[in-house]
Amino acid sequence: MSDALKPRLRKVKILATLGPASSSASMIRRLMLAGVDAFRINMSHGTHAQKAKLVEAIRGLEKEFHRATTILFDLQGPKLRVGNFEGGSAELVKGDRFILDRDRKVGGSGRVELPHPELFEAIGKGDRVLVDDGKIRLKVIEAQDRQITAEVMVGGTISDHKGVNVPDVVVPIPALTDKDKADLQFALEQKADWIALSFVQRPEDVAEARELIGEKASLMAKIEKPAAIDRLNDIIELSDGVMVARGDLGVELPPEDVPPLQNKIVAAARQFGKPVVVATQMLESMVSSPTPTRAEVSDVATAIYDGADAVMLSAESATGQYPCEAVQMMDRIAQSVESDPVYPARVHFTKTHLEPTTADALAGSARQIANTVSARAMVCYTSSGSTARRIARERPAVPLLAMTSSQVTARRLGLLWGVHAVRTRDVENFEEMVAKGKRMALRHHIAKGGERLVLMAGVPFGISGSTNVIHVVRLVGDELERHEAAKS
Protein backbone atom coordinates (compact mmCIF):
# COMPACT_ATOMS: atom_id res chain seq x y z
CA MET A 1 0.00 0.00 0.00
CA SER A 2 1.31 3.44 -0.93
CA ASP A 3 2.63 5.55 1.94
CA ALA A 4 0.83 8.51 0.36
CA LEU A 5 -2.64 7.15 1.12
CA LYS A 6 -3.20 6.69 4.83
CA PRO A 7 -5.76 4.20 6.17
CA ARG A 8 -9.19 5.81 6.35
CA LEU A 9 -11.01 4.73 9.49
CA ARG A 10 -13.70 7.40 9.15
CA LYS A 11 -17.08 5.65 8.90
CA VAL A 12 -19.07 8.05 6.69
CA LYS A 13 -17.92 8.19 3.07
CA ILE A 14 -17.23 11.28 0.97
CA LEU A 15 -18.61 11.32 -2.59
CA ALA A 16 -17.14 14.10 -4.74
CA THR A 17 -18.44 15.34 -8.10
CA LEU A 18 -15.90 15.81 -10.87
CA GLY A 19 -16.12 18.79 -13.22
CA PRO A 20 -14.07 21.57 -14.82
CA ALA A 21 -12.25 22.28 -11.55
CA SER A 22 -11.38 18.62 -11.00
CA SER A 23 -11.03 16.94 -14.37
CA SER A 24 -7.26 16.47 -14.53
CA ALA A 25 -5.63 13.25 -13.35
CA SER A 26 -3.45 15.21 -10.92
CA MET A 27 -6.43 16.94 -9.30
CA ILE A 28 -8.40 13.68 -9.04
CA ARG A 29 -5.38 12.16 -7.28
CA ARG A 30 -5.21 15.15 -4.90
CA LEU A 31 -8.91 14.76 -4.11
CA MET A 32 -8.45 11.10 -3.23
CA LEU A 33 -5.51 11.93 -1.00
CA ALA A 34 -7.62 14.66 0.63
CA GLY A 35 -10.25 12.11 1.62
CA VAL A 36 -12.56 11.25 -1.30
CA ASP A 37 -13.93 7.70 -1.13
CA ALA A 38 -16.03 7.72 -4.32
CA PHE A 39 -16.32 9.89 -7.43
CA ARG A 40 -19.51 11.14 -9.10
CA ILE A 41 -19.54 11.70 -12.86
CA ASN A 42 -22.42 14.00 -13.82
CA MET A 43 -23.85 13.10 -17.22
CA SER A 44 -25.71 16.42 -17.54
CA HIS A 45 -22.57 18.04 -18.93
CA GLY A 46 -19.67 17.09 -21.19
CA THR A 47 -18.97 14.41 -23.77
CA HIS A 48 -18.48 10.67 -23.49
CA ALA A 49 -14.82 11.11 -24.47
CA GLN A 50 -14.31 13.50 -21.55
CA LYS A 51 -16.00 11.08 -19.14
CA ALA A 52 -13.86 8.17 -20.37
CA LYS A 53 -10.74 10.14 -19.42
CA LEU A 54 -12.13 10.67 -15.91
CA VAL A 55 -12.74 6.94 -15.55
CA GLU A 56 -9.21 6.19 -16.74
CA ALA A 57 -7.74 8.57 -14.17
CA ILE A 58 -9.81 7.13 -11.32
CA ARG A 59 -8.98 3.52 -12.18
CA GLY A 60 -5.32 4.52 -12.40
CA LEU A 61 -5.47 5.43 -8.71
CA GLU A 62 -6.71 1.94 -7.97
CA LYS A 63 -3.52 0.52 -9.42
CA GLU A 64 -1.32 3.07 -7.68
CA PHE A 65 -2.83 2.80 -4.21
CA HIS A 66 -4.03 -0.84 -4.33
CA ARG A 67 -7.40 0.31 -3.10
CA ALA A 68 -10.72 -0.23 -4.87
CA THR A 69 -12.04 2.96 -6.51
CA THR A 70 -15.76 3.68 -6.69
CA ILE A 71 -17.42 5.50 -9.60
CA LEU A 72 -21.03 6.69 -9.68
CA PHE A 73 -22.50 7.85 -13.00
CA ASP A 74 -25.39 10.28 -12.43
CA LEU A 75 -27.91 10.30 -15.29
CA GLN A 76 -29.47 13.66 -16.21
CA GLY A 77 -33.11 12.57 -16.43
CA PRO A 78 -35.88 14.55 -18.17
CA LYS A 79 -35.47 18.31 -18.10
CA LEU A 80 -38.66 20.38 -18.42
CA ARG A 81 -37.99 23.83 -19.84
CA VAL A 82 -39.84 26.81 -21.29
CA GLY A 83 -39.16 27.98 -24.86
CA ASN A 84 -37.61 31.20 -26.19
CA PHE A 85 -38.46 34.85 -25.51
CA GLU A 86 -38.16 37.82 -27.81
CA GLY A 87 -34.90 39.47 -26.77
CA GLY A 88 -34.05 36.45 -24.61
CA SER A 89 -36.18 37.35 -21.59
CA ALA A 90 -39.36 38.96 -20.26
CA GLU A 91 -40.63 40.50 -17.04
CA LEU A 92 -43.54 38.87 -15.21
CA VAL A 93 -45.54 40.97 -12.74
CA LYS A 94 -47.29 39.52 -9.70
CA GLY A 95 -51.04 39.23 -10.26
CA ASP A 96 -50.81 39.20 -14.06
CA ARG A 97 -52.01 36.35 -16.26
CA PHE A 98 -49.37 34.28 -18.04
CA ILE A 99 -49.96 31.60 -20.67
CA LEU A 100 -47.94 28.46 -21.33
CA ASP A 101 -48.87 26.95 -24.67
CA ARG A 102 -47.73 24.66 -27.48
CA ASP A 103 -47.20 27.48 -29.99
CA ARG A 104 -43.56 27.53 -31.16
CA LYS A 105 -43.48 31.33 -31.63
CA VAL A 106 -41.13 33.31 -29.41
CA GLY A 107 -42.69 34.43 -26.16
CA GLY A 108 -43.08 37.66 -24.24
CA SER A 109 -44.47 38.99 -20.99
CA GLY A 110 -47.85 37.35 -21.64
CA ARG A 111 -46.99 33.88 -22.94
CA VAL A 112 -44.27 31.37 -23.83
CA GLU A 113 -44.02 27.93 -25.38
CA LEU A 114 -43.99 24.91 -23.06
CA PRO A 115 -42.61 22.17 -25.36
CA HIS A 116 -43.78 19.22 -23.27
CA PRO A 117 -47.16 17.84 -24.45
CA GLU A 118 -47.27 15.43 -21.50
CA LEU A 119 -47.61 18.31 -19.04
CA PHE A 120 -50.81 19.56 -20.67
CA GLU A 121 -52.39 16.17 -19.97
CA ALA A 122 -51.36 16.14 -16.31
CA ILE A 123 -51.68 19.72 -15.02
CA GLY A 124 -54.97 20.89 -13.57
CA LYS A 125 -56.53 23.94 -11.98
CA GLY A 126 -54.81 24.99 -8.78
CA ASP A 127 -51.50 23.25 -9.58
CA ARG A 128 -48.26 25.18 -9.22
CA VAL A 129 -45.77 25.77 -12.01
CA LEU A 130 -42.30 26.82 -10.82
CA VAL A 131 -39.76 28.30 -13.23
CA ASP A 132 -35.99 28.83 -12.76
CA ASP A 133 -35.68 26.85 -9.50
CA GLY A 134 -38.81 28.48 -8.10
CA LYS A 135 -37.77 32.08 -8.65
CA ILE A 136 -40.91 32.49 -10.79
CA ARG A 137 -44.08 30.96 -9.32
CA LEU A 138 -47.32 30.46 -11.23
CA LYS A 139 -50.69 29.04 -10.17
CA VAL A 140 -52.88 27.40 -12.82
CA ILE A 141 -56.27 29.03 -13.39
CA GLU A 142 -57.32 26.97 -16.40
CA ALA A 143 -55.76 23.97 -18.16
CA GLN A 144 -56.65 22.98 -21.72
CA ASP A 145 -55.17 20.58 -24.28
CA ARG A 146 -52.88 23.17 -25.82
CA GLN A 147 -52.86 26.04 -23.34
CA ILE A 148 -52.35 26.55 -19.62
CA THR A 149 -53.47 29.88 -18.16
CA ALA A 150 -51.87 30.82 -14.86
CA GLU A 151 -51.66 33.68 -12.39
CA VAL A 152 -48.23 35.05 -11.54
CA MET A 153 -47.79 34.52 -7.78
CA VAL A 154 -44.12 35.55 -7.71
CA GLY A 155 -42.83 37.63 -10.60
CA GLY A 156 -39.44 38.56 -11.95
CA THR A 157 -37.29 38.06 -15.02
CA ILE A 158 -37.92 34.87 -17.00
CA SER A 159 -35.49 33.93 -19.77
CA ASP A 160 -34.92 31.34 -22.49
CA HIS A 161 -34.98 27.63 -21.64
CA LYS A 162 -35.33 28.03 -17.88
CA GLY A 163 -36.26 24.87 -16.02
CA VAL A 164 -39.84 24.05 -15.04
CA ASN A 165 -41.00 22.16 -11.94
CA VAL A 166 -44.55 20.96 -11.32
CA PRO A 167 -44.54 19.73 -7.70
CA ASP A 168 -48.27 18.93 -7.51
CA VAL A 169 -48.24 16.56 -10.48
CA VAL A 170 -46.97 13.06 -11.22
CA VAL A 171 -45.55 13.82 -14.66
CA PRO A 172 -46.34 11.07 -17.21
CA ILE A 173 -42.77 11.04 -18.45
CA PRO A 174 -40.38 8.06 -18.02
CA ALA A 175 -37.33 8.69 -15.86
CA LEU A 176 -35.04 7.60 -18.70
CA THR A 177 -34.83 9.75 -21.83
CA ASP A 178 -33.12 8.68 -25.06
CA LYS A 179 -30.06 10.63 -23.91
CA ASP A 180 -30.13 8.80 -20.56
CA LYS A 181 -30.29 5.42 -22.29
CA ALA A 182 -27.27 6.30 -24.44
CA ASP A 183 -25.43 7.61 -21.37
CA LEU A 184 -26.38 4.49 -19.42
CA GLN A 185 -25.00 2.22 -22.14
CA PHE A 186 -21.77 4.22 -22.10
CA ALA A 187 -21.56 4.07 -18.29
CA LEU A 188 -21.98 0.30 -18.32
CA GLU A 189 -19.30 -0.02 -21.00
CA GLN A 190 -17.03 1.99 -18.68
CA LYS A 191 -17.82 -0.52 -15.89
CA ALA A 192 -19.62 1.97 -13.67
CA ASP A 193 -20.04 0.78 -10.09
CA TRP A 194 -23.19 2.77 -9.38
CA ILE A 195 -25.83 4.38 -11.61
CA ALA A 196 -27.82 7.25 -10.08
CA LEU A 197 -31.32 7.55 -11.57
CA SER A 198 -32.85 11.03 -11.70
CA PHE A 199 -36.53 12.08 -11.84
CA VAL A 200 -37.76 9.02 -9.93
CA GLN A 201 -41.47 9.42 -9.21
CA ARG A 202 -42.68 5.83 -8.75
CA PRO A 203 -41.31 2.29 -8.37
CA GLU A 204 -41.92 1.61 -12.06
CA ASP A 205 -39.18 4.13 -12.91
CA VAL A 206 -36.68 2.10 -10.91
CA ALA A 207 -37.91 -1.17 -12.40
CA GLU A 208 -37.37 0.17 -15.94
CA ALA A 209 -33.79 1.17 -15.14
CA ARG A 210 -33.14 -2.15 -13.39
CA GLU A 211 -34.22 -4.05 -16.49
CA LEU A 212 -31.66 -2.16 -18.58
CA ILE A 213 -28.86 -2.35 -15.99
CA GLY A 214 -29.34 -5.91 -14.79
CA GLU A 215 -26.48 -6.85 -12.48
CA LYS A 216 -23.89 -4.79 -14.36
CA ALA A 217 -23.99 -1.98 -11.78
CA SER A 218 -25.71 -1.03 -8.53
CA LEU A 219 -28.70 1.28 -8.90
CA MET A 220 -29.22 4.40 -6.77
CA ALA A 221 -32.60 6.14 -6.85
CA LYS A 222 -32.44 9.92 -6.41
CA ILE A 223 -35.27 11.15 -4.21
CA GLU A 224 -35.91 14.61 -5.63
CA LYS A 225 -39.63 14.59 -6.49
CA PRO A 226 -42.45 14.91 -3.93
CA ALA A 227 -44.26 12.03 -5.65
CA ALA A 228 -41.37 9.73 -4.71
CA ILE A 229 -41.96 10.36 -1.01
CA ASP A 230 -45.42 8.80 -1.28
CA ARG A 231 -43.89 5.54 -2.58
CA LEU A 232 -40.60 5.78 -0.70
CA ASN A 233 -40.45 2.25 0.74
CA ASP A 234 -41.37 0.64 -2.58
CA ILE A 235 -38.68 2.67 -4.36
CA ILE A 236 -36.01 1.80 -1.77
CA GLU A 237 -36.92 -1.87 -1.93
CA LEU A 238 -36.28 -1.95 -5.70
CA SER A 239 -33.05 0.07 -5.47
CA ASP A 240 -29.57 -0.78 -4.22
CA GLY A 241 -29.29 2.63 -2.55
CA VAL A 242 -30.88 6.08 -2.46
CA MET A 243 -29.75 9.69 -2.66
CA VAL A 244 -31.43 12.56 -0.83
CA ALA A 245 -31.28 15.12 -3.67
CA ARG A 246 -32.11 18.15 -1.56
CA GLY A 247 -31.70 20.71 -4.34
CA ASP A 248 -34.76 19.67 -6.32
CA LEU A 249 -36.68 18.70 -3.20
CA GLY A 250 -36.08 22.23 -1.90
CA VAL A 251 -37.49 23.72 -5.12
CA GLU A 252 -40.67 21.65 -5.21
CA LEU A 253 -41.32 21.68 -1.46
CA PRO A 254 -41.19 24.43 1.17
CA PRO A 255 -37.58 24.60 2.41
CA GLU A 256 -38.67 23.89 5.98
CA ASP A 257 -40.06 20.51 4.86
CA VAL A 258 -36.71 19.26 3.56
CA PRO A 259 -34.89 18.54 6.88
CA PRO A 260 -37.57 16.20 8.28
CA LEU A 261 -37.82 14.51 4.87
CA GLN A 262 -34.05 14.03 4.82
CA ASN A 263 -34.31 12.37 8.21
CA LYS A 264 -37.18 10.19 7.01
CA ILE A 265 -35.35 9.04 3.87
CA VAL A 266 -32.13 8.26 5.76
CA ALA A 267 -34.04 6.29 8.39
CA ALA A 268 -36.02 4.36 5.77
CA ALA A 269 -32.90 3.43 3.82
CA ARG A 270 -31.20 2.24 6.98
CA GLN A 271 -34.18 0.02 7.80
CA PHE A 272 -33.72 -1.67 4.42
CA GLY A 273 -29.96 -1.90 4.87
CA LYS A 274 -29.37 0.14 1.70
CA PRO A 275 -26.69 2.87 1.51
CA VAL A 276 -28.03 6.42 1.57
CA VAL A 277 -26.24 9.54 0.29
CA VAL A 278 -27.12 13.08 1.45
CA ALA A 279 -26.41 15.53 -1.38
CA THR A 280 -26.57 19.13 -2.61
CA GLN A 281 -25.30 22.42 -1.18
CA MET A 282 -23.60 20.84 1.84
CA LEU A 283 -20.65 23.26 1.73
CA GLU A 284 -21.99 25.56 -0.98
CA SER A 285 -20.14 28.69 0.13
CA MET A 286 -16.84 26.87 -0.47
CA VAL A 287 -17.47 27.20 -4.22
CA SER A 288 -15.95 30.67 -3.83
CA SER A 289 -14.62 30.73 -0.25
CA PRO A 290 -11.86 28.69 1.43
CA THR A 291 -14.03 28.24 4.51
CA PRO A 292 -17.69 27.23 4.96
CA THR A 293 -20.36 28.93 7.02
CA ARG A 294 -21.07 27.56 10.50
CA ALA A 295 -24.56 26.62 9.32
CA GLU A 296 -23.08 24.47 6.53
CA VAL A 297 -20.77 22.71 8.98
CA SER A 298 -23.79 21.94 11.17
CA ASP A 299 -25.70 20.69 8.12
CA VAL A 300 -22.97 18.17 7.23
CA ALA A 301 -22.70 17.14 10.89
CA THR A 302 -26.45 16.51 11.11
CA ALA A 303 -26.36 14.11 8.16
CA ILE A 304 -23.49 12.23 9.81
CA TYR A 305 -25.23 12.10 13.20
CA ASP A 306 -28.30 10.69 11.41
CA GLY A 307 -26.17 7.81 10.13
CA ALA A 308 -25.99 8.61 6.41
CA ASP A 309 -23.60 6.32 4.55
CA ALA A 310 -22.12 9.14 2.49
CA VAL A 311 -22.18 12.91 2.13
CA MET A 312 -21.72 14.46 -1.29
CA LEU A 313 -19.95 17.48 -2.72
CA SER A 314 -21.45 18.93 -5.92
CA ALA A 315 -20.34 22.31 -7.25
CA GLU A 316 -17.84 22.55 -4.38
CA SER A 317 -15.58 19.97 -6.04
CA ALA A 318 -16.84 20.19 -9.64
CA THR A 319 -16.62 23.93 -10.40
CA GLY A 320 -15.47 25.54 -7.16
CA GLN A 321 -12.24 27.39 -6.48
CA TYR A 322 -11.34 25.19 -3.49
CA PRO A 323 -12.13 21.54 -4.31
CA CYS A 324 -9.43 19.97 -2.11
CA GLU A 325 -10.17 22.31 0.77
CA ALA A 326 -13.86 21.35 0.58
CA VAL A 327 -12.98 17.64 0.79
CA GLN A 328 -10.60 18.24 3.68
CA MET A 329 -13.23 20.27 5.50
CA MET A 330 -15.83 17.52 5.07
CA ASP A 331 -13.28 14.98 6.30
CA ARG A 332 -12.53 17.04 9.41
CA ILE A 333 -16.23 17.52 10.17
CA ALA A 334 -16.78 13.77 9.88
CA GLN A 335 -13.85 12.93 12.13
CA SER A 336 -15.00 15.48 14.72
CA VAL A 337 -18.56 14.12 14.75
CA GLU A 338 -17.47 10.48 14.91
CA SER A 339 -15.15 11.22 17.85
CA ASP A 340 -18.00 12.87 19.78
CA PRO A 341 -18.84 10.66 22.81
CA VAL A 342 -22.56 10.97 22.05
CA TYR A 343 -22.15 9.91 18.41
CA PRO A 344 -22.71 6.15 18.99
CA ALA A 345 -26.00 6.86 20.73
CA ARG A 346 -27.08 9.40 18.11
CA VAL A 347 -26.31 7.13 15.17
CA HIS A 348 -28.41 4.40 16.81
CA PHE A 349 -31.30 6.76 17.46
CA THR A 350 -32.80 5.20 14.34
CA LYS A 351 -33.66 1.68 15.41
CA THR A 352 -33.03 -0.96 12.77
CA HIS A 353 -34.90 -4.24 13.03
CA LEU A 354 -33.08 -7.46 12.24
CA GLU A 355 -34.65 -9.80 9.74
CA PRO A 356 -35.42 -13.30 11.12
CA THR A 357 -32.41 -14.84 9.37
CA THR A 358 -29.22 -16.44 10.66
CA ALA A 359 -27.07 -13.88 8.82
CA ASP A 360 -28.91 -10.91 10.34
CA ALA A 361 -28.89 -12.44 13.82
CA LEU A 362 -25.13 -12.98 13.58
CA ALA A 363 -24.53 -9.45 12.29
CA GLY A 364 -26.34 -8.02 15.31
CA SER A 365 -24.52 -10.37 17.66
CA ALA A 366 -21.13 -9.56 16.14
CA ARG A 367 -21.64 -5.86 16.84
CA GLN A 368 -22.42 -6.62 20.47
CA ILE A 369 -19.43 -8.95 20.78
CA ALA A 370 -17.12 -6.33 19.30
CA ASN A 371 -18.31 -3.86 21.95
CA THR A 372 -18.05 -6.36 24.80
CA VAL A 373 -14.50 -7.54 24.06
CA SER A 374 -13.33 -4.06 22.92
CA ALA A 375 -12.37 -5.37 19.50
CA ARG A 376 -10.43 -3.01 17.24
CA ALA A 377 -12.24 -4.05 14.07
CA MET A 378 -14.62 -6.51 12.44
CA VAL A 379 -13.62 -8.63 9.48
CA CYS A 380 -15.76 -10.49 6.97
CA TYR A 381 -15.20 -12.36 3.74
CA THR A 382 -17.89 -11.63 1.18
CA SER A 383 -18.43 -12.55 -2.45
CA SER A 384 -21.52 -10.46 -3.20
CA GLY A 385 -21.22 -7.81 -0.49
CA SER A 386 -24.37 -8.93 1.34
CA THR A 387 -22.52 -9.79 4.58
CA ALA A 388 -20.84 -6.36 4.61
CA ARG A 389 -24.20 -4.65 4.05
CA ARG A 390 -25.79 -6.54 6.92
CA ILE A 391 -22.99 -5.60 9.31
CA ALA A 392 -22.87 -1.96 8.16
CA ARG A 393 -26.64 -1.72 8.71
CA GLU A 394 -25.98 -2.27 12.43
CA ARG A 395 -23.56 0.70 12.50
CA PRO A 396 -20.85 -1.03 14.61
CA ALA A 397 -18.54 1.13 16.69
CA VAL A 398 -15.47 -0.26 14.92
CA PRO A 399 -14.44 -0.36 11.24
CA LEU A 400 -15.33 -3.32 9.05
CA LEU A 401 -12.65 -4.88 6.87
CA ALA A 402 -14.48 -6.56 3.99
CA MET A 403 -12.36 -9.00 2.01
CA THR A 404 -13.55 -10.18 -1.38
CA SER A 405 -12.11 -11.86 -4.45
CA SER A 406 -14.45 -9.77 -6.64
CA GLN A 407 -13.18 -6.43 -7.92
CA VAL A 408 -16.78 -5.49 -8.72
CA THR A 409 -17.89 -6.11 -5.12
CA ALA A 410 -14.93 -4.23 -3.64
CA ARG A 411 -15.71 -1.18 -5.78
CA ARG A 412 -19.43 -1.16 -5.02
CA LEU A 413 -18.76 -1.27 -1.28
CA GLY A 414 -17.07 2.14 -1.53
CA LEU A 415 -20.30 3.92 -0.57
CA LEU A 416 -21.08 1.71 2.42
CA TRP A 417 -20.77 3.12 5.94
CA GLY A 418 -17.72 1.99 7.89
CA VAL A 419 -16.49 -0.51 5.29
CA HIS A 420 -12.89 -0.77 4.14
CA ALA A 421 -13.03 -3.10 1.13
CA VAL A 422 -9.98 -5.10 0.10
CA ARG A 423 -9.71 -7.28 -2.96
CA THR A 424 -7.80 -10.47 -2.26
CA ARG A 425 -7.46 -13.99 -3.59
CA ASP A 426 -10.25 -16.41 -2.80
CA VAL A 427 -9.99 -18.56 0.32
CA GLU A 428 -10.85 -22.23 0.53
CA ASN A 429 -11.55 -22.80 4.21
CA PHE A 430 -12.22 -21.10 7.50
CA GLU A 431 -8.65 -21.37 8.81
CA GLU A 432 -7.30 -19.68 5.69
CA MET A 433 -9.88 -16.92 6.00
CA VAL A 434 -8.90 -16.26 9.64
CA ALA A 435 -5.20 -16.13 8.81
CA LYS A 436 -5.79 -13.84 5.83
CA GLY A 437 -8.12 -11.59 7.84
CA LYS A 438 -5.43 -11.09 10.48
CA ARG A 439 -2.77 -10.32 7.87
CA MET A 440 -4.99 -7.87 5.99
CA ALA A 441 -5.95 -6.05 9.18
CA LEU A 442 -2.26 -5.54 9.94
CA ARG A 443 -1.25 -4.72 6.37
CA HIS A 444 -3.96 -2.09 5.95
CA HIS A 445 -3.38 -0.65 9.42
CA ILE A 446 -6.93 -1.48 10.53
CA ALA A 447 -5.51 -3.03 13.73
CA LYS A 448 -2.16 -3.77 15.32
CA GLY A 449 -0.55 -6.46 17.45
CA GLY A 450 -2.34 -7.30 20.70
CA GLU A 451 -5.74 -6.08 19.51
CA ARG A 452 -8.80 -8.24 18.94
CA LEU A 453 -10.76 -8.82 15.76
CA VAL A 454 -14.29 -10.16 15.36
CA LEU A 455 -14.48 -12.26 12.19
CA MET A 456 -17.61 -13.37 10.35
CA ALA A 457 -17.85 -15.90 7.56
CA GLY A 458 -20.07 -18.44 5.90
CA VAL A 459 -19.20 -22.14 5.98
CA PRO A 460 -19.02 -23.80 3.51
CA PHE A 461 -17.26 -21.10 1.49
CA GLY A 462 -18.39 -19.84 -1.90
CA ILE A 463 -22.12 -19.66 -1.11
CA SER A 464 -23.42 -16.07 -1.14
CA GLY A 465 -25.42 -15.03 1.92
CA SER A 466 -24.48 -18.07 4.01
CA THR A 467 -22.90 -16.23 6.97
CA ASN A 468 -23.08 -18.57 9.97
CA VAL A 469 -19.85 -18.21 11.99
CA ILE A 470 -18.48 -15.58 14.41
CA HIS A 471 -14.88 -15.93 15.58
CA VAL A 472 -12.83 -13.71 17.92
CA VAL A 473 -9.03 -13.59 17.49
CA ARG A 474 -6.17 -11.62 18.96
CA LEU A 475 -3.47 -10.29 16.64
CA VAL A 476 0.19 -11.02 17.19
CA GLY A 477 2.48 -8.11 16.42
CA ASP A 478 4.94 -9.93 14.17
CA GLU A 479 2.32 -12.02 12.38
CA LEU A 480 2.54 -10.08 9.13
CA GLU A 481 6.35 -10.07 9.18
CA ARG A 482 6.49 -13.82 9.74
CA HIS A 483 4.10 -14.43 6.85
CA GLU A 484 6.09 -12.20 4.48
CA ALA A 485 9.31 -13.90 5.53
CA ALA A 486 7.79 -17.33 4.89
CA LYS A 487 6.74 -16.28 1.38
CA SER A 488 10.24 -15.10 0.52
Domains of the chain with CATH codes = 13-77+176-341 (3.20.20.60), 86-165 (2.40.33.10), 358-487 (3.40.1380.20)
Respond yes or no: is residue 387 known to be catalytic.
no
Respond yes or no: is residue 81 known to be catalytic.
yes
Report pLDDT for 480.
Answer: 55
Kindly tell me the burial class for residue 474, based on how many C-beta atoms sit within 10 Å of its own C-beta (0-12, 13-18, 19 or more). middle
156-159 and 89-92 strand pairing: antiparallel
Half-sphere exposure of 127 (CA within 13 A, CB side): 20
Catalytic site residue from 10, 13, 29, 40? 40
Catalytic site residue from 17, 69, 70, 280? 280
Strand partners, 71: 39
Q: What is the CA radius of gyration of the chain?
A: 24
Rounded average pLDDT per 10-residue block, the chain, 488 residues: 65 98 97 97 96 98 93 96 96 97 95 94 95 95 95 96 93 93 98 97 96 97 94 97 93 92 96 95 96 97 96 97 98 97 90 80 90 94 89 93 94 96 86 90 91 85 70 79 50
At 481, which helix (H) or strand (E)? helix 479-487
Count CB neighbours of 282 within 10 A: 23
- Which residue in 1, 6, 13, 2 sits closest to 338, CA to CA? 13
Respond yes or no: is residue 412 known to be catalytic.
no
**CA pair distance 161, 199, nearest whole angstrom:** 18
Respond yes or no: is residue 40 known to be catalytic.
yes
**CA pair distance 356, 351, nearest whole angstrom:** 16
Catalytic site residue from 81, 102, 135, 139? 81
Catalytic site residue from 11, 111, 128, 222? 222
128-131 and 136-143 strand pairing: antiparallel
**Cβ-based neighbours of 299, under 8 Å, separated by 6 or more:** 282
Half-sphere exposure of 483 (CA within 13 A, CB side): 14
Q: Distances in Å between the alpha carbon of 279 and those of 23, 223, 335?
A: 20, 10, 19
Report pLDDT for 468.
Answer: 77
97-101 and 147-154 strand pairing: antiparallel
Amino acid at 206: V
164-165 and 128-131 strand pairing: antiparallel
Largest Cα span, the chain: 84
SS3 content of the chain, % helix, strand, coil (to 5): 40, 25, 35
Q: What is the dihedral of CA 474, 475, 476, 480, to 10 degrees?
A: 150
